[in-house]
A and B are shown apart, each in its own frame.
Chain A
Amino acid sequence: MGEAISFYFLASILTVLSIAVVTVQKPVVAVALLVFNLFFLAGVYALLGAHFIAVIQVIIYAGAILVLFMFVIMILNPDMDLKETGDKGKKFILFSAVSVGFLFFSFKMFEQMAPLTKEDIVSEILEDNTYEIGLQLFEDYIWPFELASLLILLGIVSAILISRKPSQNKSV
């Protein structure tokens, strides 16, 4: 009962926030709303028993990635060209096409999914799984893990390379 109340509360907030993030005018407001969105999503993860993922979400997503967004918005002029360009009619057609497509796919998905819900679901949600995640991550997934660290390294180097000012002396 408590779980259901918390879930529907969080879900309604998340729905409103997700819509607001993409419709709001100012980038700063959007980032702030996205922070709340990710924070409440971490709440949903905690509700699902994934405490470790919830905390990782708060530390990395809300605490680091979105700070980067904030940072960039403040470095750039915050009120720059906010005008929306493009053809209104074309956009409307695209919008309805995407919405209809998503409705169609969601119905298809639930049709396909129906047998799964009955049989395979375990009754109790896994709790206290930080230890198991660590074990699996470093035993079964050790190579993907190493590759992910390489990816991060690549990301750091390329971000610096892309964003730095072109240097004055041409020798570099």
Chain B
Amino acid sequence: MVPIEHYFILALIMFTCGTLGVLFRRNLLFMLMSIELMLNAVNLVFVTASSFLGDLDGQIMVFFVITLAACEAGIGLAMVIAIYRRYGTINPDFLKVLRG
């Protein structure tokens, strides 16, 4: 039987990849994808804990996280399209209208 730590290490690796992606990629699409990766790492922790502790609450939480991710992806991609239409780029370094 695989110890619970190994599942958590896998989740940690995925979460780290996602964080680094958000911090380093200068492309809004990649940043959104990295956020999806992070959410999935969180889901993995929830499911692991749920099935190791014999409690279904974790799996239901995954259900809500997926709902949230769907909303986030929809609105985020809509914003990407709007930004691309307005500024012709989706590189966040060039989007500094609000920076003053």
Contacts and interface: CB of A to CB of B under 8 A. Distances in A.
Interface in B15-34: 15-21, 23-27, 29-30, 32-34
Contact of A45 (B13, B36, B47, B56): B47
Q: Would you call the interface of chain B mostly helix, strand, loop, or mixed? A: helix
B3 interface: yes
Contact of B40 (A38, A69, A84): A38
A99 interface: yes
Indicate the size class of the contact surface on chain B. 35 or more
Interface residues of A, number: 81
Q: Would you call the interface of chain A mostly helix, strand, loop, or mixed? A: helix
Contacts of B66: 56-57, 60-61
Contacts, number: 218
Contacts of B17: 18-19, 21-22
A142 to B, nearest CB: 11
27 contacts: A3-B2, A4-B2, A8-B2, A18-B18, A34-B37, A41-B43, A44-B7, A48-B48, A50-B50, A50-B62, A53-B47, A65-B73, A72-B81, A86-B26, A91-B24, A109-B8, A121-B4, A122-B54, A126-B51, A132-B56, A133-B59, A136-B57, A152-B70, A158-B78, A159-B78, A163-B79, A163-B81
